Amino acid sequence: MDVAKHKKVAVGMSGGVDSSVAALLLKDRGYEVTGVFMQCWDVKDDGCAADEDKAYALQTAMALDIPFKTLDFRNEYKERVIDYFYTEYEAGRTPNPDVMCNKEIKFGIFYEWAMKEGFDFVATGHYSGIENRNGEFKLLKGVDGGKDQSYFLYRLGQEQLGHTIFPLGELHKPEVRKLAKDKMLPSYKRPESMGICFIGEVDIKDFLGKRIDEKKGKVITSTGEEIGDHDGVWFLTIGQRHGFRLKKYFGDPMYVIAKDAGTNTLTVGSYEEALRDKFAVSELSWVGANPFDNADEITCDVRIRHLGKLTPGVVKKSGEQTSDVSLSSKLFGVAPGQSAVFYKGDEVLGGGIIG
């Protein structure tokens, strides 16, 4: 008997081509598919296209002849993702809202809703893979290296992976577009969605400015020389080379290399000064067994941003939820608040928040 037959799956449908094809593939495999649109934001001034997205998702569900539901997660999204986003920036850090969105929304309250409603699985259009190896579920990179989204998913655990399907993990984006076009799914021509999860592409400074006021502060060099000013450290991130004003010309570009939210002081320096090969990580989260249960350090590849370079390194335990990372080569723009994700080959081991 087909393993998929009579298995119920709730597919998170955003109205984009990826989630549309995920639903298509699962239906073709024999699953009982229900399309679910998550309403998380509705402020059109922020570039949010939720009404249009929902219309595409509904049209796709109708084209596939599958049931369709809408879940209103606007309050939860504001509390768990957007408030976190603002709080982190106010503290001088650079958060990754997509990591939190996946943890709290897609594989948090959506997953919990689906399990409570009797679904066997949830599914999304993520370019990532899941494999059961000797009884342990592994989170894998997507085969399309230019679309791999495993970086955003490192906070998933064994329970969620056991009830999740990523139908696009073995596909490349052109194949997904072709499948959508062949079936004439409404979303097959839609452009790539960019920006903040569920909101879209926004100007970060404008978005932050809705809740955080500008405040003039000093720009200094690593030696303490005052050389300019800025409108607030919370509007800038490590590695940025614009957004502050200098009173003197240095010849080469100057980059943000440190921020002090307490004194609202920005430190800038050369490209070389913005490179780091050592940093601390907290709030560790492991996909499977905690590797520190059997060793004080692990050798792995480290990625500090989505699709960033995978750099060999050593992750050494320093506390129950903390570790020190040493890389084989220096990386540019290692920003506190971002996620460092640890890989072993094609497998995601886990990760944490850069300090």
Indicate the burial class of 177 (C-beta count within 10 angstroms; 0-12, 13-18, 19 or more).
Answer: middle
List of E strands, the chain: 8-12, 32-39, 68-72, 121-123, 128-133, 136-141, 164-165, 217-220, 226-230, 244-246, 255-260, 265-269, 275-286, 297-303, 311-317, 322-332, 339-344, 347-354
Annotated catalytic residue: which of 40, 48, 197, 300?
Answer: 197
User: Is 211 within 8 Å of 199 (Cβ atoms)?
Assistant: no
Q: Is 232 annotated as a binding residue?
A: no
User: Is 35 within 8 Å of 26 (Cβ atoms)?
Assistant: no
Q: Is 12 annotated as a binding residue?
A: yes
Q: Is 194 annotated as a binding residue?
A: no
Q: Is 48 a catalytic residue?
A: no
Q: Is 14 annotated as a binding residue?
A: yes
Distance of alpha carbon 122 from its chain centroid, rounded? 18
Q: Is 339 annotated as a binding residue?
A: no
Q: Is 40 a catalytic residue?
A: no
Per-residue tokens: 241: 């080379």
User: Is 49 within 8 Å of 200 (Cβ atoms)?
Assistant: yes
Per-residue exposure over 120-143, b if at least 16 CB sit within 10 Å of its own CB, e if not: bbbbbbbbbbbeeeeeebbbbbbb
Annotated catalytic residue: which of 40, 48, 101, 300?
Answer: 101
Q: Is 125 annotated as a binding residue?
A: yes
Q: Is 16 annotated as a binding residue?
A: yes
From the annotation, which residues make up the binding site for ATP?
Answer: 12-19, 38, 125
Which residues are known to be catalytic? 101, 197
